[in-house]
Amino acid sequence: MALIHTCYRITDIDRSVAFYEALGFQEVGRLPIKDEAINVFMNQPGDGDMPRLELTYNFGVDSYELGTAYGHIAITASDLDGTLAKLADQGIEPEKPPYSVREGGSRLCFVRDPDGYRIELIETSG
């Protein structure tokens, strides 16, 4: 068995796709589900055909409760400051400035997508 993707519900396809594209994802397909919903599949370059992220838009639903169990998804950034500068140009700001959890640990910060889901950006070396 292998984990193949994460799915969550969104309230605006264009706004969500633009957000994830700003984080380096690319849309790789859409699948209508009768007259109920549309699934939007997102990958990162080099992922092949298997989507990493499935965004589900349900017709007629304006909002969702995030609940207290959801944490976040995490993605890497080789240059966290450069990534944050590019995101800022698109109006995406971190919750707080980058920090390290422990001495010598990777720098990280969190941003929120248009529906409030937290995304952790972790700086990698090289």
- Domain with residue 95: its CATH number is 3.10.180.10
Say if residue 1's pLDDT is above 90.
Answer: no
Residue 83 belongs to a domain: yes
Q: Count the domains in the chain.
A: 1
Give 2-37 pLDDT, tens digit per residue. 778 899 999 999 999 999 999 999 999 999 999 999
Task: Please state the pTM of the whole predicted model.
Answer: 0.88
Residue 26 domain-assigned? yes
> What per-residue confidence (pLDDT) applies to 93?
97
Residue 34 is assigned to a structural domain of this protein: yes
Burial of 47: CB neighbours in 10 Å, binned 0-12, 13-18, 19+: middle
- Give the E-state strand segments of 22-123 in sequence order: 26-33, 37-43, 53-58, 73-77, 99-100, 107-112, 118-123
- Catalytic-role residue among 21, 36, 93, 120: 120
In angstroms, rounded to a whole number, what is the distance separating the alpha carbons of residues 76 and 43? 14
120 labelled catalytic: yes
Residue 30: CB atoms within 10 A of its CB come to: 13
d(CA 116, CA 118): 6
CA 51 to chain CA centroid, Å, is 13
pLDDT digits (tens, 9 = 90+) for 63-93: 998 888 888 999 999 999 999 999 999 999 9
The answer to whether position 1 is within a domain reads no
Residue 70: inside a domain: yes
Query: Are 110 and 121 contacting, i.e. CB atoms less than 8 angstroms apart?
Result: yes
| Residue 74 structural domain | 6-123
